[in-house]
A and B are shown apart, each in its own frame.
Chain A
């Protein structure tokens, strides 16, 4: 079983602070990693993708990848109340039938940004 693990939270941070979300995965062969944001009652929305070790920045979001440690993280700078949502870590893994790849999701971390 290819596992993707996240702390379920809730993670509570004050407005303007940095929120740090973490994810570990078991499939060493995975090549691509994604962060989705999901508001309550809505569908997952892609916010970041990362493929190489190191940091990738996009606006207030920074994704970090360490393949040796099998660890992915998402930093949200200057957190806003509108960032309050569940953040899903997803790892692209080879399907058991070897017919291709699909996303394998963690259970998500709930983030609450308080004014």
Chain B
């Protein structure tokens, strides 16, 4: 039982390049989330998927797209990376109920030069 897994762990991009961050969970959760974490800013929600087949914007969606490939997998795409997207990206899974918690993957450390 791996929980939430993310690939890659580290990535360096040049401005304008594109890439996709992959996330998978084996906890049979309906909902999945992408957060970014920046120094002094805390964790901010980029996009989420309440259930398979749905996606919606969070607090900071600009510059990103997502795909909920199936119940297990939720990917985050940067179409044209910018230095402002240098951050640590965390995927999480859980349920969109008022009480359930969320479980986090190990993170992807992205640097955009």
Residues on A facing B (Cβ under 8 Å): 8, 30-32, 34, 42-46, 49, 51, 88, 92, 94-95, 97, 99-108
Of A100, A105, A107, the most chain B CB neighbours within 10 A belong to A100
Q: Which of B40, B41, B101 contacts A46 (CB 8 A)?
A: B101
CB-based contact B105/A44 at 8 Å: no
- Give min CB distance, A22 to chain B, whole Å: 16
Are B107 and A99 neighbours in the complex by a CB distance under 8 Å?
no
A108 in contact with B42 (CB, 8 Å): yes
| Contact A100–B31 (Cβ < 8 Å) | yes
| B45: Cβ under 8 A from any A Cβ | yes
A8 CB to nearest B CB, Å: 8
Interface size on B, residues (CB 8 A): 28
> Is B48 at the interface (CB under 8 A from chain A)?
yes
Chain A residues touching B, majority SS:
loop
B99 touches A92 (CB 8 A): yes
A30→B99 CA distance, assembly (Å):
9
B66 at the interface (CB under 8 A from A): no
Q: Are B101 and A34 in contact (CB under 8 A)?
A: yes
Query: Measuring CB to CB, which residues of chain B are less than 8 angstroms from any residue of chain A?
Result: 31, 33, 40-45, 48, 50, 54, 56-58, 90, 92, 96-107
Contact in complex: B101, A99 (CB < 8 Å) = no
* Chain B residues near A46 (CB-CB < 8 A): 101, 103
Specify which chain A residues have a CB less than 8 angstroms from the CB of B104 in the assembled complex.
43-45
20 A-B contacts (beta carbon < 8 Å): A31-B99, A32-B99, A34-B101, A42-B107, A43-B104, A43-B105, A45-B104, A46-B101, A46-B103, A88-B42, A92-B101, A95-B48, A95-B58, A97-B57, A100-B50, A100-B97, A102-B102, A107-B40, A107-B41, A108-B42
Q: Are A101 and B101 in contact (CB under 8 A)?
A: no
Partner of B54, one of A43, A92, A99: A99
18 further A-B pairs in the complex, CB-CB below 8 A; given A99-B96, A105-B43, A107-B42: A32-B98, A32-B99, A32-B100, A32-B101, A43-B107, A44-B43, A44-B90, A45-B104, A51-B99, A92-B100, A95-B48, A95-B96, A97-B56, A99-B54, A101-B96, A103-B33, A103-B43, A107-B40
